[in-house]
Amino acid sequence: MNPENTVSEKIIYDGKMLTFSLREATLADGTPVQREIVSTKGAVVIAAFTARNEVRLVRQFRAAAQKWIVELPAGTLNPGENPDVAAPRELAEETGDTAARWEYLGGFYTAPGILTEFLHLYLATDLTPGATNFDFDEHIENLTVPWAEAVAMIHRGEITDAKTIAGLTRAGLHLNLPFK
């Protein structure tokens, strides 16, 4: 049984990337509550590893943060797009790489208190380099760092992006890599 029931939901803004809505609900005891909800199409995140356990990262200017952020390659799903199709597309667009091996590592919500966004995490290996294909408004630099350096970057606070920290942690655990 859900602890609250939706009574109504009104879309306040319906944009290209996000929909903002105001949800009216009642708690189990009948108390009315309002929820502000941000909906997205979902996204994919790729932990791409070279044969030498180097991690492919991107350094991307993020307008909301107004700074350069080090991240795993990632991208928004197109409407109705299968994440299995989106992951190779996004890896190629942002790093130029194609991968011979793909493994789905599960997924996670970014901020479930207000956001519907679910990120699908993939492990990509057996990489072949190629040309990038950035979107016209993306500012991206590619980085390839040894696993130990990626972990050190998290420890030093140089990687602050939650999806990257979560994605590297899950991939490292899956691959039984050291976290020192």
**Domain parsing of the chain, residue ranges:** 4-39, 43-174
Superfamily for the 43-174 domain:
Nucleoside Triphosphate Pyrophosphohydrolase (3.90.79.10)
Tokens 């380099």 belong to 129
The predicted-structure confidence for 134-169, as pLDDT tens digits, reads as follows 878 888 999 999 999 999 999 999 999 999 999 999
- How far apart are alpha carbons 120 and 44 in whole angstroms? 5
What is the residue-averaged pLDDT of the chain?
96
Task: Decide: 5 and 25 in contact? Cβ < 8 Å.
Answer: yes
pTM to 2 decimals? 0.93
Can you tell me whether residue 108 is helix, strand or coil?
strand
DSSP characters over 131-180? -----TT--EEEEEEEHHHHHHHHHTTS---HHHHHHHHHHHHHTT----
Q: Give residue 40's pLDDT band: very low, low, confident or very high (50, 70, 90).
A: very high
